[in-house]
Chain A
């Protein structure tokens, strides 16, 4: 298992957001996290790469263990979180490209600064990835000058430039025009076929049904039900799952 979360708990100001979630992902899996908004899915994702610290439980990701800073100290937590983030990429709902850099510079900056790759090599890698996501002719545009779908594809390419072992997606298509959603999903599908491990928080049920290896339904910070798409979509065990999925018929 390349990602294991065991009994993860997270509060914000005494409000329990993640309430003892355990899940795992094998190498090459695409795990889709579905559920009503504001129920801890995004928070869980951010705990996986250390952008949020957990209050209890254990996360093992790419051979690094993240525990609560209360137990291991803030300094150690920060060190480990940094190590995790160099192996795990993240794609955000609002793309979060760097507006003061061109698309290709967006892909190059982390390579040069974190991986100490030289400029020429970084540029080659960047162009390669842009070609892969179909954006090589936009490489010297600024994020503000391209469409949302293009920005998200660029964001995925930016994450890929760090050669991550795992990609985390936080509602990657929720902020997109429906006509632009497909181009992003296509990239994710391709990555899945190439063997990338991806954990995706999404509302795109058709995509999840088609591409995911496992669906996890989360409500109120707890896992209600999880299993292969065939099971969850055609024969959900829990009443709550059934109610939720009715929205997407």
Chain B
């Protein structure tokens, strides 16, 4: 048992960072994001995209090695401030209020907003003509701000990422989508059910963000960017992805016509939008298994360690509530009510993003285990309290009548019997925790559900890959269900009054 625990601990502290060149830690949301930064459909272990190439070029120029860090798009700036990574390159627009919080390099791309509608839509041809309609956009983006400034009535729906926005448009849940042009080029235009309409609106500049106090890196990046702009490297990258436009050409004093073919864009159209037959799809799913397995291992690690923590916290809280002096009892009650009565998601946010403001900055894995452990510790406390209370008082009487102290009676007589009673609810809680572990993706942990998100958005296959992922969750929970059923039945043998020999 001890070796298993030691192994697990070792597993969890394992640091995959390579020694040698200083890593350039790049934070972005890889769960969606063509053409920015996304998983290569042909090789889901690789990150591709025009930003990936820009980051590579910069890293090479300043002599550093790129290391990727996944985070939700809305949390990117927070993560940068937390020192989880050193740069953000992920379609982050340069705005005055952002510039007060982070440093920006010069823009690496300048674009605007465009409107996408269904192919059969005839009424909507400009932004204003979408009066009274349902318009979808990306939360926290310039597009959303522009929409908010419009003075004609319409319904605005904000999304966390672009894939679902466009698929909802195709499904009829939206009438129009208003987003950055690159997104429309990759998610709107290639969809045969959609078309881009109207003039481009607004101007937005994407920049590389660094921490305000990271003067050295900021300087290096600005210098490298200037060079890569001047020698045409950035231009060639943008052209490859079919993104070269007039706004950027004017900014850099170059010709607006693309000089090299948009090979990456064509490749993307070929692989991402190609309909696949059943056999090809099955083969693809088999190819996902190693990635899903990696996610499953992380999910299991987090879940098991959190559950052990929860059980320890739960046991002490239950005992404190039942037998402790009144201050301890009140602490126990308060703990249970607070952690049981507030959402796990918020607890995770507070631990990961809130505590640093109080000086306590936790590693994502530690934060994840702490959040899950404290939340489920409250549930376990109630389970154990109920289990202990369910043991007849007569058992305590008999133990004490034999001269045992209260503590001895608990340890040798009451708790062993209570274990059998609590096995079903505890198993329940573990399976629930296994599923709730998917929430830790919001604090940058990459586990099974994040892998699902990345794969599903890369291949536009939410249903199929979703079923596959659900099956993996089910399978990794199964052994624990069997183990608990085994314990239940072996303990039941002793307790059944009908087991007469």
Which A residues have a C-beta under 8 Å from some C-beta of B? Answer: 49, 51, 82, 85-86, 89-90, 92, 94, 96-100, 109-110, 113-115, 141-142, 144-146, 158-159, 162
Instruction: Report yes or no: A92 in contact with B397, Cβ–Cβ below 8 A.
Output: yes
Q: What are the residues of chain A within 8 A of B149 when measuring CB–CB?
A: none
A113-B394 contact, Cβ under 8 Å, with A85-B401, A89-B401: no
Q: What are the residues of chain B within 8 A of A100 when measuring CB–CB?
A: 416-417, 420, 491, 494-495
B253 at the A interface (CB under 8 A): no
* Among candidates B401, B412, B420, B495, residue contacting A51 with C-beta atoms closer than 8 Å: B401
Q: What are the residues of chain B within 8 A of A113 when measuring CB–CB?
A: 404, 408, 412
B47 at the A interface (CB under 8 A): no
Instruction: Report yes or no: B494 in contact with A159, Cβ–Cβ below 8 A.
Output: no
Chain A: minimal CB distance from B499 (Å): 5
Instruction: Report yes or no: A159 in contact with B402, Cβ–Cβ below 8 A.
Output: yes
Closest to A109 in B: B412
Interface size bracket, B side:
20 to 34
B150 at the A interface (CB under 8 A): no
B3 at the A interface (CB under 8 A): no
Interface string of B401-424 (1 = CB under 8 A from A): 111110010001100110010000
Closest to B405 in A: A82
Instruction: Report yes or no: B394 in contact with A92, Cβ–Cβ below 8 A.
Output: yes
B2 at the A interface (CB under 8 A): no
Instruction: Report yes or no: B398 in contact with A92, Cβ–Cβ below 8 A.
Output: yes
Instruction: Report yes or no: B402 in contact with A96, Cβ–Cβ below 8 A.
Output: no
Q: What are the residues of chain A within 8 A of B95 when measuring CB–CB?
A: none
CA distance A90 to B399 in the complex (A): 10
19 more contacts with CB within 8 A, not counting A49-B401, A159-B401, are: A82-B405, A85-B400, A86-B403, A90-B401, A92-B397, A94-B394, A98-B395, A99-B417, A109-B412, A109-B413, A110-B402, A110-B404, A113-B412, A144-B495, A144-B496, A144-B499, A145-B499, A146-B500, A159-B402
B346 at the A interface (CB under 8 A): no
B357 at the A interface (CB under 8 A): no
Q: What are the residues of chain B within 8 A of A99 when measuring CB–CB?
A: 417, 494-495
Instruction: Report yes or no: B401 in contact with A114, Cβ–Cβ below 8 A.
Output: no
Chain B: minimal CB distance from A51 (Å): 6
Chain B: minimal CB distance from A67 (Å): 19
Q: What are the residues of chain A within 8 A of B19 when measuring CB–CB?
A: none
CA distance A189 to B225 in the complex (A): 102
Q: What are the residues of chain B within 8 A of A145 when measuring CB–CB?
A: 499-501
* 4 tightest Cβ-Cβ pairs between the two chains A and B: A86-B403, A96-B398, A90-B401, A110-B402
Most chain A Cβ neighbours within 10 Å, of B420, B494, B495, B498: B494
Chain B: minimal CB distance from A108 (Å): 11
CA distance A98 to B413 in the complex (A): 7
CA distance A114 to B404 in the complex (A): 6
B1 at the A interface (CB under 8 A): no
Q: What are the residues of chain A within 8 A of B463 when measuring CB–CB?
A: none
CA distance A90 to B396 in the complex (A): 13
Listed A/B pairs (15) with beta-carbon separation below 8 Å: A82-B403, A82-B405, A85-B400, A89-B402, A92-B398, A96-B394, A96-B397, A98-B399, A100-B416, A113-B412, A114-B403, A142-B494, A142-B499, A145-B500, A162-B403
CA distance A39 to B263 in the complex (A): 97
B497 at the A interface (CB under 8 A): yes
Most chain A Cβ neighbours within 10 Å, of B395, B403, B494: B403
CA distance A224 to B460 in the complex (A): 90
* Among candidates A82, A144, A146, residue contacting B494 with C-beta atoms closer than 8 Å: A144
CA distance A208 to B428 in the complex (A): 54
